[in-house]
Amino acid sequence: MQVVQTITELRAAVAQARAAGKSVGLVPTMGCLHAGHLALVTRARQEAAYTVVSIFVNPTQFGPNEDFTRYPRTFEADRAACESAGADLIFAPTPADFYPAGASTWVDVEGISTGLCGQFRPGHFRGVATVVAMLFNAVQADVAIFGQKDLQQLAVIRRMVRDLHFPVRIIAHETVRESNGVAMSSRNRYLSPEDFQRATAIPAALVEARRLVAAGTTDTALVRAAAQACLAREPAIRLQYIELVDQETMAPVTQVTPGRCALAIACHLGNTRLIDNTLL
């Protein structure tokens, strides 16, 4: 497995793989890898012959009062995990390697990025879309794998790919969960043991929403109220939003259409922000 830091090195390695007739898969990450990330690497290896994992804590997707400086950085452990998972190359640039001095070009996916997390994290999805567009341009992958846990991010990237005609296939991999049902996240390490257990109310709310929809409920107010009641059983959870939305546009819906809708949740436990969702 190679580790490269510059786009020049990255392109040379990918060109060599292409010359050998290999298709290319990309798994973009910010590092601090867990089993959920490694499931994406495994999926990429199933979809392509050569797998690139990017590890880059992207400063442009963090707000001024967010956790950029304390976001966990565990490169040596990440390198070992990628090698064990069968990745072929890690691209690990610094911000100076990746963003040219005086960079002033952005990718802003309007509309789809303004609700849900976008409402509370202004500029976040502009940073995400820009860095992912740069990765797509640098790697020229055939396929890129993203986790369903970041549902709005996935929708933003799919729309960007469509609108800008990127020749890459986007695959969503189902959310990987801890043994207690909590969605795996690099930020889970911020949680105290007590808050980690309290966080089980989040997947419980999603399960309740799925149960109601499977039983024929289409009224979004009823589904939302039932899910919110599950969360309310844990007073330590500070709800930021709970919304039923269209899976593609992220627009709020007033009636559940099975196969088209999702329930998305964002909340805080202590100082840790958690997100989760379920397709309905």
Catalytic residue set: 37
Reported residue count of the chain is 280
Instruction: Enumerate residues 6+ apart whose C-beta is below 8 A from 96.
Output: none
Which of 278, 221, 204 has the alpha carbon at shortest distance from 247?
278
Write out the DSSP string of 165-230. Answer: T---EEEEEPPPB-TTSPBP-GGGGGS-HHHHHHTTHHHHHHHHHHHHHHTT--BHHHHHHHHHHH
For CA atoms 100, 109, 171, 84, the dihedral sign is positive
Whole-angstrom Cα distance, residue 245 to residue 255? 9
Which of 119, 121, 114 has the alpha carbon at shortest distance from 159?
114
What is the amino acid identity at position 64?
A: P
Which of 83, 84, 81, 31 has the alpha carbon at shortest distance from 54?
31
Angle at 58 between CA 75 and CA 119, to 5 degrees: 135
What is the amino acid identity at position 60?
A: T
